[in-house]
């Protein structure tokens, strides 16, 4: 803040001097009214100095820097380690404060976001801004009068919000034209999210046997464990493992289910519990467990513990987000493993059950992941909207997506006037697999402040995206391989978006079923025999039916069919 303090002192001196000059000028004019030309010149100089002092400062990114610091104190409902999150925020926080005079304070917890939001609501202890708020939570907070309508503020202070969302903007308004949240991660980015993974160098050493079906994958991993039963420290290895971020609906996609549901020709939806495909998936994963090939902590692992198992070469395969095995595998090994080679990594591969039309692993909801909301505790909501409006612009998305520019560690360069370029050296490191993502997070803060920007392609060039490493997919050997392997697993799931509003009696039913599945799926997969797994599956199914699963299916089907009709 030294810069701002000294600036304020200089500005104060200018204003004080201007005031004294004005006083002298007036006195001189009164004393010598005959010197009109000299007096006029003095007044012109005074006005020029005053105008210069009063003119707002616009920074290199086009942001009008406010005289008074804007404070954005927000809670992120994304589950993450608070210490790590705070460490990664420091650099971008300081940069935004220095160059924008905006003080962004972020709070996060390593707990379930919905549960934390419920506690905040019950205790009335919550901040003025909250992000990563899902549709159901948003509706709950709205119904209790805790959120403010953003539509009037967007009308007045958010031209770029409207411009970037375009025709989609009206879809975020309720029936009364009110806007309760600004979307996060909206837009369509046709890249994979989920996949099967395999330890590449060991797979190559096996002769790269064919992997197309779940059984192929199982057999290869079983042999790989036989070839590498223990790591260098003598610890047992496993074919697959999950962590507490496992997406059950996604791991069902291999059997042709879309986001956990089967669809018929008339667009009727059936939950995986009521399908033969769902049972086959449970039996398949149970097979790993029964034969000692699944990490017994798969449903207990915190991500950091799971990552340690990966980096210690204890996990040979994975079914989940593509980036997880990168982050836990070669991105660690390249700095810790002596003699590391580029082949020592995990590669993403496509799997499809023989009877499935396709493997639907990566649903894309162009509406966005969730929302940033402003609560009734925010004293200056207009300031928040102004910053969200900047973040929505392509240059705002680049800054907050790619992080601080023009540093030795920066992945991009920026010049006043809008000219930008990627740092070629870091781009080479990305392709070589030696770019230190953890270091980039800390030193440049990419995507550490994600309040409103899109995940889809930016409007000014229709090719840049907020994910730095996704800007060169087909230039990067390993990304190109991943995208080729998984090109048929990505699908637009926007029409299936369903909001369980607080006044919908099925909202509680849906949550009860989701809670049942979290524990029931784990119990079925970790059964000691296939018959026990089948029994656990049927028990889970019966309990879900009693809770109202058929009603959930009917509601989702109706909403889905209505959404499809609107899109035609």
Least confident of 44-58, 220-234, 248-262, 345-359: 44-58
Look at residue 442 and give its three-state secondary structure.
helix
Q: Give dist(CA 404, CA 428) in Å, integer.
A: 19
Question: What does pTM read for this prediction?
Answer: 0.79
Look at residue 103 and give its three-state secondary structure.
strand
**Secondary structure letter of residue 237 according to DSSP:** P
Residue-wise pLDDT for 207-240, tens only, equals 999 999 999 999 999 999 999 999 999 999 999 9
> Is residue 287 scored above 60 in pLDDT?
yes
Query: What's the full length of the chain, in residues?
Result: 568
Which residue, among 143, 53, 145, 56, has the nearest Cα to 101 in the 3D structure?
A: 56
What pLDDT sits at residue 438? 87
Averaged pLDDT for residues 487-496: 94
Q: Give dist(CA 185, CA 381) in Å, integer.
A: 21
Q: Give dist(CA 404, CA 89) in Å, integer.
A: 12
Angle at 356 between CA 215 and CA 187, to 5 degrees: 110
> Is residue 297 scored above 50 in pLDDT?
yes
Query: If you search the block for the tokens 């709070």, which residue do you land on?
Result: 107
Q: Are 53 and 15 in contact (CB under 8 A)?
A: yes
Q: Give dist(CA 541, CA 198) in Å, integer.
A: 32
What pLDDT sits at residue 90? 97
The larger pLDDT score, comparing residue 508 to residue 42, is at 508
**Secondary structure letter of residue 501 according to DSSP:** -
The larger pLDDT score, comparing residue 250 to residue 198, is at 198
Residue-wise pLDDT for 419-474, tens only, equals 999 999 999 998 887 888 889 999 999 999 999 999 999 999 999 999 999 999 88
**Secondary structure letter of residue 509 according to DSSP:** H
Largest CA distance in the chain: 109
Q: Are 317 and 219 in contact (CB under 8 A)?
A: no
Q: Are 127 and 133 in contact (CB under 8 A)?
A: no
Least confident of 70-74, 322-326, 539-543, 552-556: 322-326
Name the token pair of 357: 């039309």
């Amino acid at each position: 803040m030294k810069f701002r303090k000294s600036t304020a002192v200089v500005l104060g001196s200018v204003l004080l001097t201007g005031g004294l000059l004005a006083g002298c000028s007036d006195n001189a004019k009164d004393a010598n009214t005959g010197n009109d030309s000299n007096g006029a010149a003095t007044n012109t100089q005074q006005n020029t100095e005053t105008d210069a002092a009063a003119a707002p400062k616009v920074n290199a990114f086009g942001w009008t820097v406010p005289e008074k610091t804007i404070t954005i104190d927000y809670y992120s409902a994304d589950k993450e380690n608070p210490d790590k999150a705070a460490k990664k925020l420091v650099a971008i926080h300081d940069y935004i404060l220095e160059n924008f005079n905006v003080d962004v304070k972020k709070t996060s917890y390593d707990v379930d976001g919905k549960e934390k939001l419920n506690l905040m609501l019950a205790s009335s202890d919550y901040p003025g801004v909250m992000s990563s708020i899902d549709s159901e939570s948003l509706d709950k907070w709205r119904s209790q009068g805790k959120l403010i309508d953003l539509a009037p503020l967007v009308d007045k202070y958010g031209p770029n919000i409207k411009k970037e969302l375009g025709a989609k903007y009206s879809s975020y308004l309720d029936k009364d034209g009110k806007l309760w949240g600004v979307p996060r991660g909206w837009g369509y980015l046709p890249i994979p999210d989920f996949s099967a993974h395999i330890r590449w160098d060991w797979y190559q050493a096996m002769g790269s046997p064919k992997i197309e079906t779940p059984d192929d994958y199982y057999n290869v991993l079983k042999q790989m464990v036989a070839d590498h039963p223990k790591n260098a420290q003598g610890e047992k290895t496993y074919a697959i493992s999950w962590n507490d971020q496992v997406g059950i609906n996604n791991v069902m996609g291999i059997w042709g289910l879309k986001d956990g549901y089967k669809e018929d020709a008339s667009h009727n939806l059936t939950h995986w519990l009521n399908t033969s495909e769902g049972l086959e998936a449970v039996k398949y994963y149970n097979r790993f467990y029964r034969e000692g090939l699944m990490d017994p902590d798969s449903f207990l692992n915190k991500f950091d513990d799971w990552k340690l198992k990966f980096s210690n070469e204890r996990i040979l395969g994975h079914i989940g987000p593509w980036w997880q095995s990168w982050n836990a595998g070669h991105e660690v090994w390249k700095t810790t493993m002596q003699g590391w080679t580029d082949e020592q990594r995990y590669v993403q591969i496509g799997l499809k059950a023989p009877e499935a039309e396709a493997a639907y692993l990566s649903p894309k909801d162009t509406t966005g992941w969730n929302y940033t909301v402003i609560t009734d505790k925010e004293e200056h909501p207009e300031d928040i909207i102004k910053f969200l409006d900047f973040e929505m612009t392509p240059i705002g998305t680049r800054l907050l997506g790619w992080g601080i520019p023009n540093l030795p560690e920066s992945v991009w360069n920026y010049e006043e006037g809008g000219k930008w370029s990627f740092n070629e050296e870091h781009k080479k490191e990305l392709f070589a697999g030696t770019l230190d993502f953890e270091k980039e997070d800390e030193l440049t803060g990419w995507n550490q402040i994600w309040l409103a920007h899109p995940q889809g392609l930016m409007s000014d060039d229709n090719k840049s995206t907020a994910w730095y490493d996704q800007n060169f997919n087909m230039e990067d050997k390993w990304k190109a391989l991943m995208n080729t392997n998984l090109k048929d697993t990505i699908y637009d799931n926007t029409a299936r978006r369903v909001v369980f509003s607080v006044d919908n009696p099925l909202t509680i039913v849906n949550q009860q079923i989701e809670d049942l599945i979290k524990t029931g799926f784990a119990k079925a997969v970790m059964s000691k025999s296939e018959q026990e797994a089948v029994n656990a599956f049927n028990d889970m199914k019966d309990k879900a039916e009693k809770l109202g699963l058929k009603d959930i299916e009917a509601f989702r089907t109706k909403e889905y069919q209505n959404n499809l009709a609107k899109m035609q």
